[in-house]
Amino acid sequence: MEAAITIAKHTSLIKSKFKAAGIHLAISGIVFLILAYFIIFKWYPLPYFTADGGWQGIRIVALIDLVLGPLMTLIIFNPEKSKREIRFDLGTIALIQASVLVWGIYTVHDERPVAIVHWDGEFFSMPAKAYRQQNIDLEQLTQYGAKTPVLIHARRPVSIEELHELLTLSTEKKLAPFEQFQLYRPFRKNRDEIFVNQLDIDEIVARNAQMRQELDTFLARSGGDKSEYIYMPLQARYHNVILIFSAAGDVKGTLNAPYKQ
Both 52 and 123 in one domain: the answer is: no
Both 120 and 246 in one domain: the answer is: yes
Both 21 and 45 in one domain: the answer is: yes
Q: Which whole number is the average pLDDT over 26-43?
A: 96
* Nearest-angstrom CA–CA distance, 238 and 56: 10
pLDDT digits (tens, 9 = 90+) for 129-170: 999 999 999 999 999 998 999 999 999 999 999 999 999 999
Q: Which of 74, 95, 110 is the last residue of a domain?
A: 110
Tell me, what's the pLDDT at 12? 78
Whether residue 8 has pLDDT greater than 60: no
pLDDT digits (tens, 9 = 90+) for 169-207: 999 999 999 999 999 999 999 999 999 999 999 999 999
Confidence of residue 37 (pLDDT cuts 50, 70, 90): very high
Both 183 and 235 in one domain: the answer is: yes
pLDDT digits (tens, 9 = 90+) for 53-106: 999 999 999 999 999 999 999 999 998 889 999 999 999 999 999 999 999 999
Both 71 and 140 in one domain: the answer is: no
pLDDT digits (tens, 9 = 90+) for 206-221: 999 999 999 999 999 9
Tell me, what's the pLDDT at 203? 93
Both 139 and 252 in one domain: the answer is: yes
| Statement: the pTM of the whole predicted model exceeds 0.75 | yes
Tell me, what's the pLDDT at 5? 55
Omega before 47 cis (within 30°)?
Answer: yes
Burial 83-105 (b: 16+ CB within 10 A, else e): eeebeebbeebeeebeebbeebb
Tell me, what's the pLDDT at 80? 86
Both 86 and 196 in one domain: the answer is: no
Q: Which whole number is the average pLDDT over 23-42?
A: 96
* Nearest-angstrom CA–CA distance, 41 and 34: 11
Whether residue 2 has pLDDT greater than 70: no
Both 133 and 99 in one domain: the answer is: no
Both 131 and 245 in one domain: the answer is: yes
Both 71 and 12 in one domain: the answer is: yes
* Nearest-angstrom CA–CA distance, 205 and 253: 15
* Nearest-angstrom CA–CA distance, 139 and 176: 21
How many Cβ atoms from other residues are within 10 Å of residue 212's Cβ?
A: 16
Confidence of residue 6 (pLDDT cuts 50, 70, 90): low
Whether residue 261 has pLDDT greater than 70: no
Both 101 and 126 in one domain: the answer is: no
Q: Which residues contact 50 (CB under 8 A, 6 or more apart)?
A: 238, 239, 256
Both 11 and 61 in one domain: the answer is: yes
Q: Which of 66, 86, 110 is the last residue of a domain?
A: 110
Q: How many structural domains compose the chain?
A: 2
Q: What range defines the domain where residue 97 resides?
A: 2-110
Residue by residue, what is the 3-state secondary structure of 16-71?
HHHHHHHHHHHHHHHHHHHHHHHHHHHHCCCCHHHHCCHHHHHHHHHHHHHHHHHH
